[in-house]
Structure 1
């Protein structure tokens, strides 16, 4: 049986604190492509000098267009996407290799993630069921154009789930995570603006409150202690920013 080849793809911007460990975790791939949106902290220099990486600079518009561009660069049909703050464990590496070389494969696979608050795992706060599409066939999948953040795949064929979890070091510190949530919020606002959604004062007030209540109480963030309070607040802040930005976009049209 011939061995299937795998392309690993990483999207980067100023990820010098994470990129070495991320790349080291995916060195088993036959091809590694990194698409960098003009980093200024040494990330680009690291990527461009690495012997196993095909490094490309490309302007960032949104996550979907950036990942669609990166996908076009892959030489192999099987691709595995990961962010610079994610790590593939040895057990996940083994499962990925076994999966793409099995006789009966799906077109795309969901990957559960373990959310890391600094260097310790966060068990609740809405992250306990976090999963994302990471492993798939390039020939059978494409990113949906109308999603600017939390990009979604359109899959031709069946989907399945990997058992092993991807490690996600999303929370480096308060200001870093706050910046992510505000950026995601503004992109979601543009996404909803493009779909013709309206801003209302009710949404501006209630949606952030519901986000916090849902993650802190219903999704058991209260069991994460102080960390749960911080994460749930910042996630709710991202929702508040979404509607604040949507109001601004509507006002300026």
Structure 2
């Protein structure tokens, strides 16, 4: 695939960000990318806490769009903004570009990337209650956050696990240089539970639709493929496991086999809630949906 070369010293990529009442997070992210030769676009879903002032002060372009799901919000953002750089980076407001990744982006050039590469995976460090979650399968964690303009798009076959997919081309992984993810709102456990209770509705509905073949996997499932292809493969196994049993299997695997136990008390809370509590609530809601549908027949 041949790609058009950009004039020397012109922006090589643009950064697109989703936001909603992110006064705690957005200033950190914007400060972490300050100095990069880039354009910044923000898709906001109705912030009222000063987020819009932060965006304006930074000089980013902003658009309002009501929120439905993350994949739909990303789809709107990528199609609304008139982005003219060769590459696009998609970030959430609770991300921070750490110094090693900043340096890679500072010296990034489209000409350095082979023409057959259309997507780049960043390595993410996830933090919970101030602690880096190093174990339980959470590090290294590769997310495709950078892709060629016009080639990457948002996977609308997902309700919750948002990911970018490619129309064509291959991917590469940046193992060095990190993207930090830390949602400070989730330090209050009631916020975390309320948020994931809402997420469990979407996840349960999505899985029921997959059982009926109303949703397809866009990404090809392959155990030894790209990080997203491996995730797609593991999801297929997950969907076939028995309800109510699979959350316990998953928690045991993450906490003991993948050594989540080494993440301390913060890790215990995180892995228990994310791997067991959340997944169990999803299974209960799937059971409720199927039970109600059975009565209606």
Taking structure 2 as the reference length, what is the TM-score of the superposition? Answer: 0.76
Aligned position for 1:169 = 182
Partner SS state of residue 33, structure 1:
strand
Deviation string, structure 1 residues 122-181 (Cα, Å, up to 9, x no partner): 221321222211111122122222112222332210100112110111453323333343
Residue aligning to 1:43: 51
Deviation digits for residues 176-208 of structure 1 (CA, Å, limit 9, x no counterpart): 33334333332222221222359x9x8342122
1:125-144 matches, within 5 Å, as 125-144=136-155
Residues 66-89 of structure 1, C-alpha deviation per residue, up to 9 Å, x if partnerless?
Answer: 111111215133111111111002
What does the per-residue CA deviation read over 1:58-115, in whole Å, with 9 as the maximum and x for residues that have no partner? 1111111111111121513311111111100222122124344343342101111111
- Partners of 1:53 and 1:42 in 2: CA distance: 14
Secondary structure (helix, strand or coil) at the match of 2:180 reads strand
Equivalent residues, number:
250
Which residue number in structure 1 is paired with residue 67 of structure 2?
60
Q: Distance in 2 between matches of 1:19 and 1:133?
A: 21
Q: TM-score with structure 1 length normalisation?
A: 0.88
After the TM superposition, list the runs of 4 or more consecutive aligned residues in structure 1 that deviate by more than 4 angstroms. Answer: none
* Aligned pairs (5 A) from 1:67-216: 67-72=74-79, 73-75=81-83, 76-105=85-114, 106-155=117-166, 156-162=168-174, 163-170=176-183, 171-196=186-211, 203-216=242-255
| Kept in 2: contact 1:26–1:88 (CA 8 A) | yes
Unaligned runs of 5+ in 2: 1-6, 214-238
**Are the structure 2 counterparts of residues 218 and 181 from structure 1 closer, same or farther at C-alpha, using a change threshold of 3 Å?**
farther
Deviation of 1:119 after TM superposition, in Å, equals 2.7
2:15 pairs with one of 2, 8, 14: 8
Q: Distance in 2 between matches of 1:111 and 1:64?
A: 19
Bigger shift: residues 92-101 or 216-225 = 92-101
Given that 2:122 and 2:142 are in contact with CA atoms closer than 8 Å, whether structure 1 keeps it comes out as yes
Q: Distance in 1 between matches of 2:209 and 2:16?
A: 28
Q: How far apart in 2 are the matches of 1:35 and 1:218?
A: 39
Hey, what's the Cα distance between the residues in 2 that align with 1:74 and 1:181?
33
1:25 counterpart (19, 29, 32):
32
Cα displacement (A) at 1:233 = 1.1
1: CA distance between counterparts of 2:108 and 2:58? 27
Q: How far apart, in 2, do the equivalents of 1:51 and 1:164 lie? A: 24
Deviation per residue, 1:32-59 (Å, 9 max, x gap)? 1111111233323433x33411111111
Cα distance between partner residues in 2 of 1:59 and 1:53: 19
Question: Given that residues 181 and 234 in structure 1 are in contact (C-alpha distance below 8 angstroms), is that contact kept between their aligned partners in structure 2?
Answer: no
3-state SS in 2 of match to 1:40:
coil
SS in 1 for 2:107: helix
Q: 1:192 to 1:100 in 2, by over 3 A?
A: farther
C-alpha separation between the residues in 2 aligned to 1:252 and 1:45? 46
